[in-house]
Structures are given as structure tokens and as C-alpha cells.
Structure 1
Amino acid sequence: MLGTKIRQLRKERGLSLGELALRADCAKSYLSDIERGVRDNPSIQFIEKIALVLEVPTEFFFDKSYTTAEMLANELAPEMIELVKQLDLGWLQLTQQAASSGLTKEQFQEFIEYARWKSSQSSGD
């Protein structure tokens, strides 16, 4: 699972294996082994370096509620895949956190409408 998440995020970011290894200051062969599942117990320092380069929290690799856009798209109906591809990972995770915290769609919509209203009040000053 760890290697899969790294590979999918790397591809979503448009990085080659070599580029990620270079930016994270690790051996390309070691990174390749992790991605392919040949090695499955990297150090926390390695994970922190990878997370920094891929711009995700370290918890992304340990918490099952964090997912990549590709993994989420595989779980969705075909008509939703294009929509998911247009959203960035942060928005998908925010929506997922709102739903898992018990926030209803109606409450979320009310919040959006309030935020729009508040913004229009501020710009009207």
C-alpha cells in the first residue's frame, strides 16, 4: 500500500522515479523497491523526505482515510471519474473529512452559501 501511494502520487505530480529520488535525496533503486513492494519497511526519515517532496503530510502514508485521486477514482462510478480528475487531492480530502465528521451535504452547502455571502459583504465595504 505504501509503495502504491508513493507511485500514484509521484505520477500525479508528473515526477519520474529518478526526479523523486533526487529531490528526496534517496537512492533511485531503493525508491523503486519501495514502490514495487520489494521492500516494505522504510524508515520514518525516508517517508518524511518523500512526503515533503510530494507535498503531503507524513500521515498520508499511514492513515487509510488519505487516498490518491487515482485510488479514489477506481472506487467511483464511471461518470464521476472525470470530475475527480479535475479536483486536486486537498479538495477531495477536505470533502471526505467533512463527510466522515458527520457534516451533511445540506450543512456543507449552507456553509458554502454563508461563505459566499460573507465574502460579498466584505467586498461591498
Structure 2
Amino acid sequence: MEAVGKRIREIRRQKGLSLSELAELAGVSKSYLSYIERNVQKNPSLQFLSKISDTLDIEVNVLLGSEHDPKSQLDEEWKTLIEKAVKEGMSKEEFETFQDYIKFTKWKESQEGRDDDN
């Protein structure tokens, strides 16, 4: 089961979630999730795995390593966009900064929408 925690951590990070965010969204204990990811706790329940997989929008089988998540496959358009960004010299850090900027912009727009409602 060691690989389960590693898979959870990898998928959580791919989806841009912190440990706290995933725990809250899934309705599980942050400390227990941390124990699973660090392989301190080695036997997560099916209920726990189901909550995590539902929140991460994957099948439990993916966490167990018995199949690949088809949703994680990049379509050709994404591959082309990423290849273009790399060819143009965009670093991973710049890409992450851009993602943060987009998140901030969306958050700011949502806040402005709330202000307009009041």
C-alpha cells in the first residue's frame, strides 16, 4: 500500500491542491491524509480511498495502481501548447506563476461580482 500514498500526493499536486485543501474537500482528517501520503499509516480504508478518489475525480483503481487514469492523459491540443511554451523558453516556474496569476484574476473577478451584488 506504500504506493497509494505516493499516488495520492502526486495526483493531488498535479491538480494543484494542498494537503489541507484536499482534506477539507474530501471531508477527511488532514493529519490522517498526511500519514497516508508519508506512509506512516499503511492501510487506508476503502471509505477513505473513495472520498479521496471522488474529490480528485479519479477511480479508486487508479490510487491502487491497477489502472491508469484516462483523464490524466493530455489531449493533442494541450501537448502542442506545452511543447510551444517549452520551445519559446517558458520555465516551469514561469508556467506556475502564470497559473497563479490566472487563479488570482478569477478570484478577483468573483470578489468584484460579490461587491456588485451588494
Q: TM-score range by the shorter chain?
A: 0.5 to 0.7
TM-score (norm 1): 0.53
SS state of the match for residue 40, structure 2? coil
1-structure distance, mates of 2:74, 2:50: 22
- Higher RCO structure, 1 or 2 (CA under 8 Å, sep 6+): 2
1:62 aligns with 2:55: no
Structure 1 runs, 4 residues or longer, greater than 2 Å off: 63-67
Q: Give 1:63 shift.
A: 3.3
Q: How does 1:1-125 map to 2 (within 5 A)?
A: 1-66=3-68, 89-91=72-74
State the Cα RMSD in Å: 2.1
One-letter code of the match for 2:12?
Answer: R
Match of 1:111 in 2: none
Letter in 1 for 2:22: L
- Unaligned ranges ≥5, structure 2: 76-118
Distance 1:27 1:56 in 2: 20
TM-score by length of 2: 0.56
**Following the alignment from structure 1 to structure 2, what is the Cα–Cα distance between the partners of residues 57 and 91?**
17
Q: What do residues 3-36 of structure 1 show as CA deviations (whole Å, max 9, x unaligned)?
A: 0000000000000000000011011000000000
Q: Distance in 1 between matches of 2:31 and 2:52?
A: 14
Percent identical: 40
2:41 aligned partner, one-letter code:
R
Q: Following TM superposition, by how much is the alpha carbon of 1:91 offset from its aligned partner in structure 2, in angstroms? A: 4.9
Q: Aligned pairs, how many?
A: 73
